[in-house]
Amino acid sequence: MKNLSKTLIKKINEIKTPVKIMHVCGSHEHTIMENGIRTLLPEEVEIVAGPGCPVCVVPSREIDEALELIDKGVTVTTFGDMLRVPGSNGSLAEAKAEGGDVRVVYGINKAIEIAEKEDNDVVFIAAGFETTAPTTAAELLATPPENFSVLSCHRLIPPAIDYLINSGQTNVNALIEPGHVCTIIGTKPFDYFSTEYKIPQSVAGFNPLDILMSVYMILRQIKNDSPKMENEYNRAVREEGNEIAQEMMEQVFNVESREWRGFPQIPNSVLEIKDEFSEFNAREKYDIEVKEVTEAPKGCICGPILRGMARPEDCKLFGKTCNPLHPIGACMVSKEGTCNIAHRYAKR
């Protein structure tokens, strides 16, 4: 592996050219930081992190919706990373400390098990990108118990990338696409970034060689003036993706426009439960309605970090008042968050 890394780094240096590559995957950022990949690349090659953390991009308004459910006496179940994501006036962890019934589960199936055993109403906060959405869809198609419902916070990666490209804020020249997402939706939804915008792309796996190989593929495309989607992660990703998973998603969800944390409303970027399954849609079942809220705590620059415009080290709060034990912004909460990863590995 060491010899392969040296060979790839040599090849990268032979065809290096100024380029700004964005990835949109918390696991990719973890691999990059843990292995010091940015320090191995020539100065001309920059890799920036985009909105790749599914917990981080859940906006304050949706946390407020969950807090409203807790106020109504509902049992709220969620992944552990969601507990400390800030809403406009508190977090799920704070609501739990004040007596709210908030429980950590490792998946929607565990939330359903709780609903089957108890009389109280149970809601699962379904956060995640295309990777986890099929699991939510499968469980709703299997008809869960009447006292169970879902607060859908699922989001779609390609529309967010499209927004970033057209916003002109990040000046991205190339893309490393997320391997997990592409195992579900394949590579086709990303093709138009190359055909329409002439942006080189590669789908990457999750070890250091995957990242280095994807960088080399992108630089090779630039040298040959042949922007396209290349599949470095072909041991897991197929062009067509997982068609069974896609079909389940289409059965259960509508695609709608909604804001992300750090972003305004992004067209066609979220998954909401269809009317046919409204008895399992917590927003419909409990008539949730919350006001528009202030997105970021004072001094927090999670928005620019999620949009690839800034690094955690640019934030005055980073590593000081904001750290993994006391996160102020959402990017510091999850282990997939750019700030959390930077805090753990920056010194290395």
> Could you tell me if 311 and 282 lie in one domain?
no
Determine, yes or no, domain membership for 295.
no
Number of domains in the chain: 2
Determine, yes or no, domain membership for 296.
no
pLDDT, tens only, 55-65: 999 999 999 99
Q: What is the pTM of this model?
A: 0.95
Interval 222-235 mean pLDDT: 98
pLDDT, tens only, 264-295: 999 999 999 999 999 999 999 999 887 766 56
Task: Tell me which of 298 and 164 has the higher pLDDT.
Answer: 164
Residue that is written with structure tokens 């407020």 in the block:
64
Task: Please state, as a whole number, how many other Cβ atoms lie within 10 Å of the Cβ of residue 56.
Answer: 28
| Whole-number CA gyration radius for the chain | 20
Tell me the one-letter amino acid at 136. Answer: T
> Could you tell me if 229 and 169 lie in one domain?
yes
Determine, yes or no, domain membership for 297.
no
Q: Kindly report the average pLDDT of the chain as a whole number.
A: 95
CATH number of the domain that residue 30 is part of: 3.40.50.11750
Max CA pair span of the chain: 65
Cβ contacts of residue 269 below 8 Å, gap of 6+?
Answer: 155, 156, 159, 160, 163, 255, 257, 258, 260
pLDDT, tens only, 296-335: 678 899 999 999 999 999 999 999 999 999 999 999 999 9
Determine, yes or no, domain membership for 335.
yes
Determine, yes or no, domain membership for 273.
yes
Q: Using an 8 Å Cβ cutoff, are 59 and 28 in contact? A: no
H/E element, 93: helix 92-97
Q: What is the pLDDT of residue 271?
A: 98
Distance in angstroms (rounded) separating the CA atoms of residues 173 and 218: 10
Domain boundary among 246, 261, 290: 290
Q: 326 lies in which domain range?
A: 302-342
pLDDT band at 89 (very low <50, low <70, confident <90, very high): confident
